[in-house]
Every structure is written in structure tokens, then in C-alpha cells.
Amino acid sequence: MKFRYAMVCSSNQNRSMEAHSLLKREGFEVSSYGTGAHVKLPGPSLREPNVYDFGTPYKQMYEDLRRKDSELYKRNGILPMLKRNSTVKLAPQRWQENAADGSFDVVFTFEEKVFDIVVEDLHNRDHVLLKTVLVINLEVKDNHEEAAIGARLTLDLCQEIEVSESWEDSIDDIVANFEKQQRRKLLYSISFY
């Protein structure tokens, strides 16, 4: 593969990790991140989420929730998701703290709010490399089924980008073809490192 990819959602749990897992299996050089202040997972009610710091290992979250209510977190898919995540990487990482990971060629976000944060963060960084980075937002609802669909669509887009001579010259066509075939709108921006 010729490009480095980053997958970004709010908590680096569901949407970004589903895409990270699939792209990694397909041989892409990929990382994933969240943009939130903390990692939030559903709790027993909407007003009682489970909140963790970025960097808390997925296995630790798994054990914590298994102890709290194994049946609830199995039924709502959180325990299987955390188990999958722990096979991909150690812990959720925060986008705004990823400078040590190097630069990416293409960044996918899965929510417009996250897209805005990533674009603004790239804009505010020191542009030492003056290297272009493509940021694409594919709107994906934060549930397990939609995350799986979003990951497959992301894979399709990554494969299209990989076969292009130069994504800078073909991105308009790639996006137009995708939107026509999938009936989904994409946002995209070209930024710099």
C-alpha cells in the first residue's frame, strides 16, 4: 500500500476501530484515534455513561464492565467490541496527541463534528513538512451495524485512492463516483502537515 491512513471518531472505540480492524486485515498501514476529552461507553442509562481516560487499555475496560454487569454489556455489544479492539491495539488514542505517530496521507472521520476538529487541529499545527493530507468525512451512526457498513465503505474508498495515480488529481472523481453509487454525501478537505 502506498499511503498511511488514520481512522478517527469520538472515543476510538466503535467506528474508527471497526474501520481500523478491517483495513489492517486487508494490509493497509492504518492507525486510529478519538477526538473527545474522554472515552465514553454506554452505561446502564443515558445519564450514566462509563467514562475512561484515553490510554486506558481496552482489556482493562473489558474487565471493568464485565465485573459491573456482564449480561448488559454482552447484550449491547460493548464487551465483544472491546475484545475486538484489544486484538487491534492496546488502548484508545487521542487524535490531538498523535504528533509522535508521524504524518498521514489520508484521514477518515465518521462524524462531521470530528471532521471539523481534525481539520482545525491540522490547521493549527506547525506545517513543517508542507505535506498534503486528505481528510474525508463519511457520516456513520454510532452503532455496531452502521460501523460495520461504514468500515466496508471506507475500505472501498481506500482501495480507490490506492489505485489512483495521484489522489490530488482524482479525488473529485473518486468522491463523485462514490456519492453516486452509495447515495451518501462525503465531506473532504485538503490540509497540510
pLDDT digits (tens, 9 = 90+) for 73-102: 999 999 999 999 999 999 999 999 997 888
d(C-alpha 107, C-alpha 189), whole Å: 10
| Sheet arrangement for strand 132-138 | 29-34, 4-9, 106-109, 132-138, 186-192
> What is the DSSP annotation of 104-148?
-SEEEESSHHHHHHHHHHHHHS--SS--EEEEEEE---SSHHHHH
**Tens-digit pLDDT profile for residues 108-162:** 999 999 999 999 999 998 877 778 999 999 999 999 999 999 999 999 999 999 9
pTM for this structure? Answer: 0.96
Q: How far is CA 173 from the centre of its chain?
A: 23
Tens-digit pLDDT profile for residues 14-43: 999 999 999 999 999 999 999 999 999 999
**Mean of pLDDT over the chain:** 95
